[in-house]
Structure 1
Amino acid sequence: MIRLERLNKYYQQGDEKIHVLKDISLEINQGEFVAIMGPSGSGKSTLINIIGFLDNQFEGEYLFKRNSVIGKSSKDYAKLRNQNVGFVFQNFKLIANLTVAENVGLPLLYAGYRRKDIGERVNNVLQSVHLKGIAKKLPSQLSGGQQQRVAIARALISKPSFLLADEPTGALDRHTSQEILKLFLDLNQKLRSTIIMVTHDYQVASQSQRMIQIMDGRIESDRSVSK
């Protein structure tokens, strides 16, 4: 589904040109659960921005579903992003004055769906992340784990091609982190959701099917995870 070939990324810092990603080549198939690991400054966030169609300023090739995204406009990138990527963030990024149902349904509202058609989709996706009876609550009334489940439901509502989870357990305690990881595993195994998760935590990454280690802008290792 995703194929990167000799991808390079540079940032201009004053008179200096910083080489952030160096000849990155990788493939991610439909239905995979992949963890991308690396310390701060390794380039993993930059790589994720490119994979998630947030950054189109790079050298090399990016094939998505066998079609090149090179040369596409910012408007094309926004369409690719909105139709294909479900984002899950460390700090949840829920809107405080909207209910759970309103937060989850927001992507469909932006996509032009009628409010009356959104309700059933919202209920179904809340059930898929094991949340019942909280649709009318506000984020402030929920635990951290519940808020992250709401964020995952919001990412799933538009049936994206893949989920992009950036440190999804970073703000959670160990027990709650395990619950969220189990949810990702269930989504991957039961719904065949493609999940790309960024983490610096080896214990978290080891729950995935495949672990890619980024160091100094290069892929240091890419291996299957033994269970």
Structure 2
Amino acid sequence: MIKLEKINKSYQQGTNSVHILHDIDLEIQEGELVAIVGESGSGKSTLINIIGFLDQEFSGNYYFQGQALHDFSRKQFSALRNRNVGFVFQNFKLIQGINVQENVALPLLYAGMRRAAVKERVSHVLTQVGLAGYEESFAKNMSGGQQQRISIARAIATNPHFLIADEPTGALDTETSQEIMNLFKELNANGTTIIMVTHDPKVAAQCQRTIRILDGRIVADSQEGTI
């Protein structure tokens, strides 16, 4: 589904050019649950920004479902992102002043879905993440684990081709982290492709595949979460 060839990324810092990613070659198949691990500053966030169509300023070749993307415009990348990717973040990024139903509905409304269909879809994904009946609740009154479930429901609401989860358990205690991982594994078992950035070896070990980034290079790529 995703194929990167010789991806390089640099940026200017004053008069110096800082090289962040070095000749990244990577393929991710549909249906995989992949962990990307690495120390802070290793380049993993830059890599997922490119994979998730958030950053198109790179050299090299990017193919998505066989289509070459490396010459796409900013507008084309934005359209790709809106249609194909769901994002889950460590700090949830929910709007505290609106209720659960309204938070989950946002990407559907942006996509132009009719309100009656939106309500039905929101109810369905909240049931998927174990929050049926919480539509009128407010995120600020809910636990961290529940807020992450809302975030996941919002991410899957548009039926994206893949999810990018950036440290999704980073703000949660051990028990709640495992509950969220169980939810991700259930979604994956039902066909959702998931690319997860994590510092937690226990989280990475539960993924089918672990990719380790060091100094902007892929230094290991192994199956069943072990390196």
Query: Shorter-chain-normalised TM-score: which range?
Result: over 0.9
> Paired residue for 1:101?
101
* Paired residue type of 2:31: G
1:151 to 1:224, Cα distance in 2 relative to 1, 3 A: same
> Paired residue for 1:206?
205
How far residue 98 of structure 1 moved from its aligned partner, in angstroms, is 1.0
Whole-angstrom CA distance in 1 between matches of 2:91 and 2:27? 28
Per-residue deviation, residues 22-49 of structure 1 (Å, max 9, x unmatched)? 0100100000000000000000000000
How far residue 226 of structure 1 moved from its aligned partner, in angstroms, is 6.1
Whole-angstrom CA distance in 2 between matches of 1:141 and 1:134? 11
Per-residue deviation, residues 169-207 of structure 1 (Å, max 9, x unmatched)? 011001100000000000001x21000000111111111
Q: Name the SS of the counterpart of 2:105 in structure 1.
A: helix
Q: Name the SS of the counterpart of 2:41 in structure 1.
A: coil
Whole-angstrom CA distance in 1 between matches of 2:181 and 2:206? 7
> Paired residue for 1:111?
111
Whole-angstrom CA distance in 1 between matches of 2:101 and 2:78? 24
Whole-angstrom CA distance in 1 between matches of 2:198 and 2:83? 24
Question: Is 1:120 matched up with 2:113?
Answer: no
> Paired residue for 1:197?
196
Per-residue deviation, residues 130-184 of structure 1 (Å, max 9, x unmatched)? 1121110000111100000000000000000000000000110011000000000
Unaligned 5+ residue runs, structure 1? none
* Residues 122-137 of structure 1: pairs in structure 2 closer than 5 A: 122-137=122-137
> Paired residue for 2:91?
91
How far residue 16 of structure 1 moved from its aligned partner, in angstroms, is 0.7
* Residues 147-186 of structure 1: pairs in structure 2 closer than 5 A: 147-186=147-186
Whole-angstrom CA distance in 2 between matches of 1:74 and 1:9? 16
Question: Is 1:143 matched up with 2:143?
Answer: yes
* Paired residue type of 2:202: Q
Whole-angstrom CA distance in 2 between matches of 1:104 and 1:64? 26
> Paired residue for 1:27?
27
* Paired residue type of 1:200: H
CA contact (8 A) 2:210 2:225 kept: no
Whole-angstrom CA distance in 2 between matches of 1:27 and 1:131? 34
Q: Name the SS of the counterpart of 1:19 in structure 2.
A: strand
Whole-angstrom CA distance in 2 between matches of 1:216 and 1:35? 17
After superposition, the CA RMSD in angstroms is 0.9
Whole-angstrom CA distance in 2 between matches of 1:12 and 1:225? 38
* Paired residue type of 1:169: T
> Paired residue for 2:216?
217
* Paired residue type of 2:81: R
How far residue 63 of structure 1 moved from its aligned partner, in angstroms, is 0.3
Q: Percent identity among equivalent residues?
A: 59
How far residue 83 of structure 1 moved from its aligned partner, in angstroms, is 0.2
* Paired residue type of 1:186: E
CA contact (8 A) 2:206 2:225 kept: no
TM-score with structure 2 setting the length: 0.98
